[in-house]
Amino acid sequence: MKNTFFSVFSLFFLLTGASCSEEEKEGDTLGAYAEVGEPSVVATTSSSATLKATVLSSGGSAVTEKGFCWSSARENPDKSDSSVSVYSAAVDFERNISGLAANTAYFARAFAVNGAGVAYSPAIRFTTAAAVPEEDEQLAAFTAPGYPDDYSPISSWSRRSEWNLANVHDPTVEKCGEYYYMYATDASYGNAHEGHGHFPYRRSKDLVSWEFRGMAMSETSAWVKDTLNSMRSRQGLPAINNPSYGYWAPAVRKAGSKYRMYYCVVVDNYILTGKQNTTANFDGSWTERAFIGLMETDDLSANLWEDKGMVVCSSTDRGSSWSRPNLNNWDGYFKWNAIDPSFIITPEGEHWLIYGSWHSGIVAVALDPATGKPFKLGEPWVAAALPDYGSRIYTRNSSSRWQASEAPKVVYNEETGYYYLFLAYDELTVAYNTRVCRSRSIGGPYEDFNGRSAAAGISDCKPVLTHPYKFGNHSGWVGISHCCVFRNPDSGEWFYASQGRLPANTGGNAYSNAIMMGHVRKIRWTEDGWPVVMPERYAAVPNAEIKADELVGTWEHITLAYSFGAQQTDKPLTLAADRKATGALSGTWEWDAAKKVLTVGAQQLCVEREVDWEASPRTHTIVYAGINPSGESVWGKKVVTN
C-alpha cells in the first residue's frame, strides 16, 4: 500500500510540473493530468501582455479548458488569481491579457483542464513597459493616407466618390457643424466636371479624408447675362446672346447666421463684337469684364444657395477706349479685375472684400454688412467711379497694367495684431508660388519682410512661403499657390490649402501637369510674427511629444529661393547627438520642446510631426519650416529608414 501511494504521487508530480491546490485535488476524478509547457511572452505594452503556451499532453482525456493566470503578488498564481481561458482545440494557444499596471513585474502560469483536474506550468516572470502617453500609443498605431498622388486612373466623373482631394483648384475652406467644406474653381483633369454644374465641393471631419459632394451651383444665374448686356447697351454695344463663361475662385466665409460665397464668372468674349475669345475672332478689342457674385445659405450641408447677384465687376479708368492693337499687347483695359475674392470681417465688425489679379494689382472695398455688397457703385467704365470698386493695397509693378500676381487672401491674427495678405505669383501651371505681406490696418499700408510698401510696388515680395520643390523619391510638386488660409475653430490651429500640380511627363504621362491635387498644410508662426507653411501635407499625425534624440539623424533640407519655373531640390543636413549640425545648415543645434522650435546656428525652425509622403510605404516623420534672413522659406524633412 505504501509503495502504491508513492508511485501515484510521483506520476502526478511528473505530469503537472507543479502542485495543485488541495481544493483542486479534492475534486479530481481518476486519470492522468494534462501537461502544459512553460508560457512565453510574445509582446508587452504598459497595460497588457500577450502570452503563448502549448499543451504537451492531454493526459489521456480531453482538455476542456486552457489559459493563463497571473499575479503581481504570488510567484505561483492559480485560477483564483486573475485568469483568462482559451477555448480552442489546438494544442498551441495564445491570449492577450489586459488591465495590467505599467512598469510592474508579474508572475504567470499556463494551465490546462481535463478530467483529472487543473494542471499548471512552471511560472514565468515578465515586466510591463513604462507608462506611455496616449499620443505615443496613437503614433505607434498611426497609418498614413494611402491615396495616390497621380489620380489619373480615377479622374472620371463616374469615379468621383474616390477622388478625396483629387481635382482641387483654388480652394476655399470653411467649417459648418462637424465638417469642413472645401469649394473650388471649375477645373479637373480631362475636364471631368463639365456638364455637371459649377464650383465643386467636398467635406471632411479631419482635413485628411474628403468626401466629394457635387457642385454648389447647378447653372449660371440669369443676372450675369442680363447685367452684362445692360452694361453693353449703355455703352452702345450689341448684346451677347450666348456668352462664354469661366467659373473661378469662390470664397466662402460665415457672416452672422449666414454663410456667404463670393464667386467669379469671367466673360470670355471680345468687347467690340461680342465674339468668343479665339485668335481667329480677334477684333482689335480686349475681352469683356469679369463679375464677382454672391450666394448665401444658412447651412453648408444643405447646399441650398440663394443668389444675391452682382457685388462688383471689372472696372476701368479708360472709358470706352477698349481697343487692343494686337494680341501681344498687355496694357490691359480694365484696371481692377473682378476675380479672386477674399472676404473678411474685422474685429471691429467691418466687412471687406479684397480682390483682383494681374490688372494693376489688388484692391480692397468696404461692404455693407447687411447686404455683403459695396455701399455704392457707379458705372464701371467711368474713371470717377473707380474708387467705388476699391482702393489699391498691393501691386507688383506700379507702372504696369499687366503683372503676374493674383489670388489675394487676407486673414487677421489677433495674437500678432496684423492683417496678412497672401498672394500668388507667376503663371499657375509650374511657376506658381506664394508670398505674404502684412499690415496693422485692413486697408494698409502692407509691408513685406524687408519693410517695403506693397502699394508702391514690390516686384519680389517676401517671405516666399511655397515654391515648386522636390524631395527625394518623388517627382515633387509645381504650381503650388492660390491659397486659402483658415483656422480650426476648436484648437486654434492655422492651415494653408491650395492645389499642387505634378510636373510634366510624370510617370510617362504627357498630361500629368493637369493633375491638380488638393494640398492642406499646417501653418506655424515665427517669433517675429510671420507665417511659415509646413513642407509636407497635413495628415493628422498624432501630436506625440517630440524628444531631442528623435531629431538626431539625416534630413533633407530645401531653401525656397525664387527661381521662375524651376523646382528647388533638397540638400543633406545632419543633426548629430553631440548637438552639432553639418551640411545644408551648420553650427550648434538646440531644441525647445515646449515651443517645438529647433534652432540651428542662428536659424529658428518650427517643427511638427507630419507624413513622409515620398516614402514607400508612407509613414510619419518630423518636418520643419522657417524663414532665412533673405526672406526665403526653408523646409526640412527627417529621412525615414525602413
How far is Cα 545 from Cα 136, in angstroms, rounded to an integer? 8
Q: Is the pLDDT reported for residue 357 higher than 70?
A: yes
Segment 506-530 shows an average pLDDT of: 97
Tens digits of per-residue pLDDT, 69-100? Answer: 999 999 999 999 999 998 878 899 999 998 89
At 26, the pLDDT band (50, 70, 90 cuts) reads very low
Tens digits of per-residue pLDDT, 221-247? Answer: 999 999 999 999 999 999 999 999 999
How far is Cα 365 from Cα 83, in angstroms, rounded to an integer? 73
Residue-by-residue DSSP string for 293-359: EEEEES-TTTT--EEEEEEEE-B-SSTT--B-S-TT----S-SB---S-EEEE-TTS-EEEEE--SS
Q: Is the pLDDT reported for residue 7 higher than 50?
A: no
Q: What pLDDT score was predicted for residue 499?
A: 98
Helix, strand, coil shares of the chain, percent, nearest 5, are: 10, 40, 50
How far is Cα 92 from Cα 506, in angstroms, rounded to an integer? 51
Beta strands in 121-275 (DSSP E): 124-127, 172-176, 179-183, 198-204, 211-217, 245-255, 258-267
How far is Cα 339 from Cα 266, in angstroms, rounded to an integer? 8
Q: Is the pLDDT reported for residue 8 higher than 50?
A: no
Q: What pLDDT score was predicted for residue 513?
A: 98
Q: Is the pLDDT reported for residue 134 higher than 60?
A: yes
As annotated, the residues of the chain forming the CATH 2.40.128.10 domain(s) are 548-638
How far is Cα 293 from Cα 354, in angstroms, rounded to an integer? 14
Percent of the chain predicted with pLDDT > 70: 95
Output the average pLDDT for the chain: 93
Q: Are 257 and 402 in contact (CB under 8 A)?
A: no
As annotated, the residues of the chain forming the CATH 2.60.40.10 domain(s) are 12-132
Q: Is the pLDDT reported for residue 407 higher than 60?
A: yes
Specify the range with the lowest mean pLDDT, choosing from 47-51, 69-73, 197-201: 47-51
CATH topology for 548-638 is Lipocalin (2.40.128)
Which among 180, 197, 187, 181 has a CA at the least distance from the CA of 166? Answer: 187
CATH code, 12-132: 2.60.40.10
How far is Cα 102 from Cα 128, in angstroms, rounded to an integer? 6
Segment 13-25 shows an average pLDDT of: 36
Per the structure block, which three cell numbers stand in for 171? Answer: 480652394
Residue-by-residue DSSP string for 572-611: EEEE-TTSEEEESS-EEEEEETTTTEEEETTEEEEEEEEE
Could you give phi then psi for residue 47, rounded to 5 degrees?
A: -135, 5
Q: What pLDDT score was predicted for residue 642?
A: 63
Segment 109-130 shows an average pLDDT of: 95
What pTM value is reported for the model?
0.82
Q: Is the pLDDT reported for residue 172 higher than 50?
A: yes
